[in-house]
Copies of this chain bind each other. A is one copy, B any other.
Amino acid sequence: MAKFLTSRSEDYSQWYNELVLKAGLAEPSAVRGCMVIRPYGYAIWEKMQQQLDRMFKETGHVNAYFPLLIPKSFFSKEADHVEGFAKECAVVTHYRLMNDPDGKGVVVDPAAKLEEEYVIRPTSETIIWNTYKNWIQSYRDLPILCNQWANVMRWEMRTRMFLRTAEFLWQEGHTAHATREEALEEADRMIKIYAEFAEKWLGIPVVMGTKSASERFAGALETYAIEALMQDGKALQAGTSHFLGQNFARAFDVMFAAQNGEREYVWATSWGVSTRLMGALIMAHSDDNGLVLPPKLAPIQVVIVPIYKSDEALAGITAKVDGIVKKLQAKGISVKYDDRDTQKPGWKFADYELKGVPVRLAIGERDLANGTVEVARRDTLTKETLPLEGIEEYIPALLENIQDTIYKKALDFRNSMITKVDSYEEFKQLLETKGGFFLCHWDGTPETEERIKAETKATIRCIPLDSPEEEGRCMVTGKPSSRRVLIGKAY
C-alpha cells in the first residue's frame, strides 16, 4: 500500500498540511491567505453547522443577516474594538473598474472613489449594534437573540488552512439584554453549548474558562473560551463567548425604557465558532493513515466495497448489498456502495482510510457463500468477520461505540497531558520536553503573563471555570495566588 502522508512523528505540521490537501478538505487559492473549501471538507462543515444551528434554535435563537461591509468610522466608536480589529483588514476604497486606457486589462477607476471607505467585516458587533439601535425601545423588545452564519476577513500575516485564514466562515451570535445578569447567563449558556458540541460531536474534550484581561476580545468585559489539546501537545482555542457589558450600547447609543421607566443602556454578548473547528477536528483524532472522523460528523458513515473477480460475482454481491444499503439508510445512516471498476479494492481501502470513513464493509464471493461480511473500523484499524444477517442492527451500535471511543481516546490523552507544576524552571523544561497543558499559580498581573509569553511562547489559555480555590504562590514571582490557571503553547 502506498504511503500517502508524512507521519506525525516526522513532521506534525507537514502531516497536517498534506492531510488537508490529500483528503480533499481544502486547498490554497489564488487569493492571499484564502482557501477553497472542497466538497468533502464542506460536507463536514455542513454537518457541524446543522447541529450548532439546531442547538442555537433550541435555546431560543434566530438567524438574521447583516451587511458584509462596515463603514470605516464605525470602528472608531468603541475604543478597545478599534485597537483589536480595525487594523489588519480588507479596505474597500472604490466601486468601479474601467478599461485600462494604456492597453489591455482593467484598472481601478479613480473617479469612483468612495467618500467613506468600507471595511470587510472582521466581526460584526459594530454594524449589528448600529442596527439594534432601531430595534430596541423598551424592555419589551428584549432580549434579542440573533445569530448570523457568515464569512469574515482578517488580514492575517501567517495563514494555515482552517486554523488561520484571511477569509473564514463562522457563526456570530449577538444578543441584547435588559440586565447584566441575563447577559452573563447568556454568555455562560453559549460557552457551555460550545463545550457540549465539542465533546459530543467533535469528540474533543475541552477546558472551559475565562480569558485573562489581555487575551479578552476587543471590547469585552469577560471572554469565556473552550480550549482543546491537539496531538502535538499544543492548545487550540475552539470557541469564545463574550460578555460585552454596555460597551457597544454606549458606543452606538442603544438605550431602552426599563420596566421602572428609567432609560438604561442595553447589555450585550457575542459568541462564535468558525471553520477553525475543522482544523481542531482534523488535528485531534487523525493518524498517519489519514483522517479519523467521529461518525456524527462523517459525510459517509459506512462504505461498502465489493471484492470480486467476475461481473457475475459482482452482480451477486450487488444484489445482496442493495438490501443492506436500504436497511442502513432507513436507520438514517449515510452509506456509500463503491462498485467502481476503475479502482482496485486495496486502493479504495486506503482512500477511505485517508478520508476517515468510520466503518468499512468488504464483501467478497466467499462472504456471499458463507453469509458473512468483513467489518473494519477506522478509529482502531481493527477488522472482524460477522454474519451478514442482522448487520443493520450491529452497525448503529458500532457507530456509537466509535464516537465514544474517539472521544475517550482524546480525553485520556488530554488528561495525561495536564501537568501541575509549581516551579517556573520545571515548567520551562516540561513545556519543551512534554508540552500540553500546565496548571500553575499566577500572580494575576499582565507583567508576569507577558514575561511567561516572552520567555517561553506559552500563554495563559484560560482560568478554568472548574479550577478549585487553592492557596499558592505564582510560579514566576512567588506572589500569592488563589487558584491555578491553564497555560500552554497555542495555535
Question: Which residues of A are in contact with B by a Cβ distance under 8 Å?
Answer: 27, 29-31, 34-39, 42-43, 46, 62-76, 82, 86-98, 104-106, 108, 117-120, 127, 130-131, 134, 140, 146, 150-151, 153, 155, 167, 169, 342
Contact = CB atoms under 8 A, between A and B. Distances in A.
11 contacts: A29-B66, A31-B67, A31-B127, A36-B66, A37-B65, A46-B63, A68-B151, A73-B105, A88-B95, A97-B119, A151-B151
A35 to B, nearest CB: 8
Contacts of A62: 39, 42-43
A92 B82 CA distance: 20
A118 B31 contact: yes
A20 to B, nearest CB: 14
B91 A95 contact: yes
Please provide the 8 A-B residue pairs with the shortest distance between their CB atoms, ordered closest to farther.
A39-B62, A37-B65, A34-B67, A91-B94, A76-B105, A31-B67, A95-B155, A93-B93
A91 B97 contact: yes
A94 B113 CA distance: 13
Contacts of A153: 68
A257 to B, nearest CB: 14
Contact of A76 (B43, B106, B134): B106
Given A34-B67, A68-B167, A127-B29, A90 B87 contact: no
Contacts of A87: 96-98
A131 B43 CA distance: 18
A191 B130 CA distance: 39
Contacts of A27: 131, 134
A18 to B, nearest CB: 16
A454 B64 CA distance: 40
B89 A97 contact: yes
Nearest to A53: B46
Given A34-B68, A65-B37, A106 B86 contact: yes
Nearest to A98: B87
Nearest to A26: B65
A224 B62 CA distance: 35
Given A29-B66, A36-B66, A76-B104, 19 more contacts: A29-B67, A31-B118, A31-B127, A34-B67, A36-B67, A37-B65, A38-B64, A43-B62, A68-B153, A69-B167, A72-B108, A76-B106, A86-B106, A87-B97, A88-B95, A91-B97, A93-B108, A140-B342, A151-B151
A70 B29 CA distance: 10
A98 B75 CA distance: 11
Nearest to A27: B134
Given A76-B106, A134-B27, A140-B342, A64 B89 contact: no
Contact of A92 (B86, B88, B91, B105): B91
A64 B92 CA distance: 26
A313 to B, nearest CB: 24
A29 B69 CA distance: 10
A461 to B, nearest CB: 28
Nearest to A131: B36
Nearest to A76: B105
B146 A69 contact: no
* Best-surrounded residue of A105, A130, A150 (most CB of chain B within 10 A): A105
A351 B68 CA distance: 31
Contacts of A90: 69, 92, 94-95, 118
A127 B169 contact: no
